[in-house]
Amino acid sequence: MSSVYNSQVVTISPYHLSAALALLISFCPYAQAKGVAAIKAHETHTDSSARIFVFEKVRDTGAVIIFDIKGRKPYSVIRSPKVDYLVIVDNLSSDITDDKGISAYRRSLKESKAFISKYSKSKAMVEPYIELLSETIGKYDSGLLRQDGQWIKKEDYLRKKAEEEAAYKQGEVELIKSKIALLEDKVVGCEVDIEAIRKEIDIKRVQRLYLKSQQWLQKDSELQNSEVSAEELRMKNVEIDELIAREHLKIVELEGLKKDLGRQLVRLEKQTEKPGASQ
């Protein structure tokens, strides 16, 4: 099987390869992918004859593998048994606070050991990485966790996490309390408005009754110059109808505020509920 093979790429000296990998591990923890590749001149050649080089990024299409190498053009090679590569952990300074966080290190350690066992020329440059993985895994297995670049005892981490969760929960409680206080003020304000509207409706009804009584008295009176007009009564009815409509809207608003207040109270009760209290 033919491949795009650049001999210039794989003639980098072992010293520079080791230095490049060290730089990758130390200063490029956020690269998308990085590691070491091994390519044999022919599939039938021994693994120990494979040429080794460091890459900063790899794109594997399934048919073609493309390596990005610092300071050089991308290096492409057709996938075949003569091509192999090892990708190192993407972010060697990330937090490790549970088994999921350490799993990538365990997997990479296993792959790295298999890689140097197969390709002996890669041993000198990959072994420091293996030591780093082993040290990290050892610290985790001894009960330490890494957070923000610092190794801390697991119990200290769990205590700190519990305190942060409690502080967050307390913050949520205080926020809900402030919302409840605001809603309570709005409920009171709405009730005051409704009471004022009702009083105004009562006044308008009394005024209308007065006008009707005046109109009735004037029917037998010869004094027509002060007669109460039908328009006055009509306008009074309109005013009363408008006030009743305002009262209805205020009542709807009040009911909505009270429902919202009820929901906020339920949330507050759940936030302040002690663990196991509902069991």
Span 66-90, pLDDT tens digits: 999 888 888 899 989 899 999 999 8
Decide: pTM greater than 0.75: no
State which residues form the domain around 102.
Answer: 9-148
Do residues 141 and 191 both lie within one domain?
no
2 falls within a domain: no
Do residues 177 and 136 both lie within one domain?
no
Do residues 24 and 140 both lie within one domain?
yes
Do residues 192 and 123 both lie within one domain?
no
pLDDT at 130: 95
154 falls within a domain: no
93 falls within a domain: yes
Do residues 131 and 170 both lie within one domain?
no
Do residues 17 and 127 both lie within one domain?
yes
Number of domains in the chain: 2
Give the model confidence (pLDDT) of 213-240 as tens digits. Answer: 877 777 666 555 556 678 888 898 899 9
DSSP-assigned states of every residue in 116-185: HHH-GGGHHHHHHHHHHHHHHHHHHHTTEEEETTEEEEHHHHHHHHHHHHHHHHHHHHHHHHHHHHHHHH
Considering only residues 218 and 154, tell me which one the structure prediction assigns the higher pLDDT: 154
Do residues 167 and 55 both lie within one domain?
no
- Domain end position, chosen among 148, 177, 212: 148
pLDDT at 16 over 50: no
Do residues 175 and 122 both lie within one domain?
no
Do residues 60 and 118 both lie within one domain?
yes
Do residues 174 and 132 both lie within one domain?
no
| Distance separating alpha carbons of residues 130 and 89, to the nearest angstrom | 11
76 falls within a domain: yes
Considering only residues 225 and 97, tell me which one the structure prediction assigns the higher pLDDT: 97
Instruction: Give the chain's mean pLDDT.
Output: 83
